Amino acid sequence: MPGLQMSEVQRRVAAELQRIAPVLDPLGERFAAAGHALALVGGPVRDAMLGRLQNDLDLTTSARPEVTEKLLAGWAEATWDIGRAFGTIGARKGDWVIEITTYRSDAYDPDSRKPQVAYGDSLVGDLGRRDFTINAMAVSIPGQVFEDPYGGIADLAHRLIRTPGRPEDSFSDDPLRMMRAARFAAQLGFTVAPEVVAAMTDMAERIDIISAERVRDELVKLVCAPYPRLGLSLLVETGLADRVLPELPALRLERDEHHRHKDVYEHTLTVLEQAIELEPRLGGPGPDLVSRLAALMHDIGKPKTRKFVGDGAVTFHHHDVVGAKLTRKRMQALRFSGDQIDAVSKLVELHLRFHGYGSGEWTDSAVRRYVRDAGDQLDRLHVLTRADCTTRNARKAERLRRTYDELEARIDHLAEQEELDAMRPDLDGEQIMSILGIPPGPDVGAAYRFLLERRLDHGPLPPEDAEAALREWWAAREAAGESAPESAPESTPESTR
């Protein structure tokens, strides 16, 4: 959107207001008849100027929540008051979701992350308490009078993120706004004003009073934005990342004197961007959070595992395993879900596995194990592994691409032949117990694991061959006295429970 012209902004806003007028004008007339002002505000006004249509509308009003609720009655198809404590009443009208909030002039305790809600008495005052000028514009409803007391439209045209007042005051009120600045940079591709960056740097420690859940939510929005490098770089530059995602700035390792390893931090951001380019392979409708987080975290084990050997060469042995543990710990601290933590940690742990493939020396057994270990993250592992190639050597990059193409082709071929997605032994727990004449218990689990390993090594067997192999294994085991004692606790494979 470089060189955004005022005429283009006006055209976009006019088109959006025309689209929403049939819905909001009657509502505005209701408020006006009751002696109250109503205005479209914040994100919807900004997005209208950017040409980003949406059906979620934020409005502000001079009416108190109880009055808003009465005025919505008979107009809205449904209302809710979950935000009443903050002056907000929600409503639905057809496909439109609307939130109406009473003018605010909140006060904050410096040691608290929660405002003491106080109602304001003017639109200008309400706009002044908002986070950034591009979110501090409004359009009155009805009448469509544009209000921009803090120069938001100019900042939008110049692609600039700036606060309505002093950034220090804004961030003192709500420290999460510092992360929101980085998030908007990532979402819009805008530059953050120098005085805002300076305040973020000076006040970074204020983010510590914000709950892990709110920090996580902003980080997720940033990572899933179109330009996450902009936002992440700003978090690192200002020191905020040291407090919310310290593993990222830790990647800025001092270069060894011989420059024999890449800049891990820049490499990580490039891997993230390349993973985003490969997301269409996943077939999802939008940004893939798990894939992006895996790309961001895949090398965080390197600082703890870096060693200089010989003539100054650098190694990072086991940084995949160490990184997986660090990933799990950080994501738990940020209150991610268990499923998300498991998925991202698995991808970090497996991201180097392909490099053992060499030039295609893996046996079918090794390919099966690669699929088995990746499980339901196989497609994301394909994306991460491909994205992790950031070499500037064109011949090396092409060789790696062809080799991974070959591995994927082998996986597809084996999948067609063997149903790799199922990846179970040729006999289930019930069949094992029947053939061996044993009750549920650890021996069944041991037999199940034996058959699974055999399946991985040799592919599927006919039932009679699987039974013969099982009996042979069992006889050898009994001869060696390895069967479990009868007093051992029962344990049965999941597939038989």
Residue 37: pLDDT above 90? yes
Question: d(Cα 222, Cα 209) in Å, to the nearest integer?
Answer: 20
Distance set, CA 265 to CA 229, 254, 397 (Å) = 11, 11, 20
In this structure, what token pair is assigned to residue 274?
């390349």
pLDDT of residue 52: 78
What is the CB neighbour count within 10 angstroms for residue 497?
7
Q: Packing angle between helix 194-202 and helix 228-238, nearest 10 degrees?
A: 50
Q: What is the DSSP string of 411-479?
A: HHHHHHHH-TTT---SS-HHHHHHHHT--SSHHHHHHHHHHHHHHHHH----HHHHHHHHHHHHHHHHH
State pLDDT tens for residues 52-84.
778 899 999 999 999 999 999 999 999 999 889
Asked if 272 and 292 touch (Cβ cutoff 8 Å), the reply is yes
Q: Considering the chain, tell me which residue range(s) the CATH 1.10.3210 domain(s) occupy.
A: 263-408
> Among residues 185, 196, 179, which one has the least CA distance to residue 225?
185
In this structure, what token pair is assigned to residue 168?
């220090």
pLDDT of residue 482: 67
* High-pLDDT (> 70) share of the chain, %: 90
φ, ψ of residue 128 to 5 degrees: the values are -70, -20
What is the CB neighbour count within 10 angstroms for residue 389?
18
Q: What is the pTM of this model?
A: 0.81
Residue 304: pLDDT above 60? yes
Q: Considering the chain, tell me which residue range(s) the CATH 1.10.110.30 domain(s) occupy.
A: 159-245
Classify 130 as helix, strand or coil: coil
Q: Considering the chain, tell me which residue range(s) the CATH 3.30.460.10 domain(s) occupy.
A: 1-158
Q: Give the position of tokens 């090794």.
A: 366
Strand-pair partners of 38: 61
State pLDDT tens for residues 434-448.
999 999 988 888 888
Pick one of 3.40.50.1000, 3.30.460.10, 3.40.1170.60, 3.20.20.70 as the CATH number of 1-158.
Answer: 3.30.460.10
Asked if 223 and 293 touch (Cβ cutoff 8 Å), the reply is yes
Radius of gyration of the chain (CA): 29
CATH architecture of 159-245: Orthogonal Bundle (1.10)
Question: d(Cα 328, Cα 331) in Å, to the nearest integer?
Answer: 5
pLDDT of residue 118: 81
State pLDDT tens for residues 99-128.
999 998 765 666 665 666 788 889 999 999
* Interval 19-47 mean pLDDT: 92
> Among residues 387, 112, 417, which one has the least CA distance to residue 271?
387
Helices and strands (H and E) in the chain: how many: 22, 13
Classify 401 as helix, strand or coil: helix
Residue 488: pLDDT above 80? no
State pLDDT tens for residues 323-382.
999 999 999 999 999 999 999 999 999 999 998 877 778 888 888 889 888 989 999 999
In this structure, what token pair is assigned to residue 370?
């690669």
Classify 83 as helix, strand or coil: coil
In this structure, what token pair is assigned to residue 188?
């819009």
Question: d(Cα 451, Cα 467) in Å, to the nearest integer?
Answer: 10
Q: Packing angle between helix 338-350 and helix 319-333, nearest 10 degrees?
A: 160
Residue 250: pLDDT above 50? yes
Q: Give the position of tokens 């790309």.
A: 295
User: First vs last Cα of the chain: how many Å apart?
Assistant: 58
Q: Which of residues 496 and 319 earns the better pLDDT score? A: 319
Instruction: Specify the fold of 263-408.
Output: Hypothetical protein af1432 (1.10.3210)
